[in-house]
Structure 1
Amino acid sequence: MALTNSKRIAAFSAVDNHLDASTKIIGIGSGSTVVYVIERILQRGNLKKVENNENNNLESLDVSSCVFIPTSFQSRQLIVDNGLNLGDVDQLSFLVDILHLFDVDKNLNAIKGGGACHLREKVVAEISKKFIIVADYTKKSEVLGEKWTRGIPIEVVPFCYVLVLSSLIKLGCHNQILRMAKAKAGPVITDNGNFIIDAHFGHLNGTNTPKEILKRIKLITGVVEVGLFVDMAEIAYFGTEDGLSVEILKK
């Protein structure tokens, strides 16, 4: 219950601090915390339903005139199931993007891609005017790789996955695994028809900084996108372990 409350309070704080009556375009990321982002947006659409509203400056959101841009099947279904206006990345440039990530360091660099949708998430993040992270306390790390130990997700062209696996070894990767599906025989297939490799580099610090590792991996032929979000977020909201408060990190 405390973990749920931690996610909810982080999401609510991010929505309340960054969405106002002028907000018209919102990118929605993926992950368990994003459910509470949508919950708060719907509440803000009718201020009478907002509980514990201590912020006298809290404005109502005209959700009927807002357009929501999904980054995954999950976020698309959240938008559609809640009757919100579904937009497309080709239509618009964004005002706000709210994204849940798996591991965030003290410099707001992050790992994302456990759901194999980090390519679309990064596209939305890059064209957002404001990129906001929401997460619970378990995602906050001093260095990347400290909390998230499943490796850096890398989306690769199927034709090249063996080449990418061998190239990662030359970069000092400790272990590189083609991600396999759990409910079928074979690899995970992304929404873009590609494979996912999870590459273990340990803690990303010293000479292996997130920026340096990202640059090296991106140069490998066959790599489509890397689940490292470096120098992109301007602020992060972490719900505390007791689920009662929020820790905010800024650039």
Structure 2
Amino acid sequence: MFSKNLNFVRRYFVMSLQEAKKIAARQAVDEHVQSGNLVGIGSGSTVIFAVERLAERVKKEDLKVQCVPTSFQARELVIKHQLPLTDLNINPLLDVCIDGADEVDSNLNLIKGGGGCLLQEKIVASCSKKLIIIADYTKNSSKLGDQYKKGIPIEVSPMVYVPIQKKIERLYGGKVELRMAVMKAGPVITDNGNFILDWKEFNQDHDWKKINTDLLLTPGIVETGLFIGMATKAYFGLKDGSIKKQE
């Protein structure tokens, strides 16, 4: 009986998180996407609901949009919903990018890259007039690292992952691990052919803007999962069905 009750609680919790993602995604799309917009499409589970809502509006409102995906997964999602694709070489300035986050702090700084798409996500976000974040309530924190314990992703050239791993630990503390694949032997390989290091157990009181700049000046580091000062607004779906906005 206890096992059955526990499974019920787990199912309810997952469903409630999914619903929280859905309401945040739908409201963000309704408030920030207009006909004629060029839209960056982020990656991850929450963005699925944003694309579904975008497709609904295209069908019901004859909304005219073009989409720039941030990953192979995002591209397949856009194709599945028959939304028009474009790219940054054709349209270098986007109206809005809608994306998820692994964690959002009180200053709208983000940790992204849990799904391994941080480089393309940051490129598309940087080419957008505004970056709108959609998430459930578990992603809303006071400081980075409060709730998200899987670490800050850092995309690196495969030839230098060990020196970078040791350098970060030596200079900034914490623990840096090479992300390993689940369904294959060996490390995760990004869409760009690189490795990902996850920086865990870091000091939460770092000056993240300085840390991010210092890391990006390190030869071999391609990009970090620290999105500092990039987000315009965040929508968090809450347990009670309401939405918290942060800007």
Q: TM-score, normalised by structure 2?
A: 0.90
Separation in structure 1 between the aligned mates of residue 34 and residue 113 of structure 2, nearest angstrom: 29
Q: How does 1:11-26 map to 2 (within 5 A)?
A: 11-21=25-35, 23-26=36-39
Q: Is the contact between residue 173 and residue 200 of structure 1 (CA under 8 Å) also seen in structure 2?
A: no
- 1:196 matched to 2:220? The reply is no
Q: Is the contact between residue 149 and residue 202 of structure 1 (CA under 8 Å) also seen in structure 2?
A: no
C-alpha displacement of 1:61: 4.8
Q: More helix per residue: 1 or 2?
A: 2
Q: How does 1:109-124 map to 2 (within 5 A)?
A: 109-124=109-124
**More displaced, 93-102 or 213-222?**
213-222
Q: Which runs of 4+ in 1 moved over 4 A?
A: none
Q: TM-score, normalised by structure 1?
A: 0.89
Q: How does 1:227-246 map to 2 (within 5 A)?
A: 227-242=225-240, 244-246=241-243
Q: Is the contact between residue 172 and residue 202 of structure 2 (CA under 8 Å) also seen in structure 1?
A: no
Aligned to 2:172, what secondary structure does the other structure show? coil
Q: Is the contact between residue 132 and residue 236 of structure 1 (CA under 8 Å) also seen in structure 2?
A: yes
CA RMSD of aligned residues (A): 1.3
The structure whose RCO (Cα within 8 Å, separation 6+) is larger is 1
Separation in structure 2 between the aligned mates of residue 134 and residue 41 of structure 1, nearest angstrom: 14
Aligned to 1:166, what secondary structure does the other structure show? helix
Q: Is the contact between residue 233 and residue 245 of structure 2 (CA under 8 Å) also seen in structure 1?
A: yes
- 1:209 matched to 2:207? The reply is yes
Q: Which runs of 5+ in 2 are unaligned?
A: 1-14
C-alpha displacement of 1:203: 4.8
Q: What is the match of residue 11 of structure 2? A: none
Q: What is the match of residue 89 of structure 2? A: 90
Q: Is the contact between residue 146 and residue 203 of structure 1 (CA under 8 Å) also seen in structure 2?
A: no
Q: How does 1:1-251 map to 2 (within 5 A)?
A: 1-21=15-35, 23-47=36-60, 60-62=61-63, 65-92=64-91, 93-205=93-205, 208-242=206-240, 244-250=241-247
Deviations 1:132-154 (Å, cap 9, x if unpaired)?
Answer: 00000000000011111111100
Separation in structure 2 between the aligned mates of residue 211 and residue 117 of structure 1, nearest angstrom: 21
Q: Which runs of 5+ in 1 are unaligned?
A: 48-59
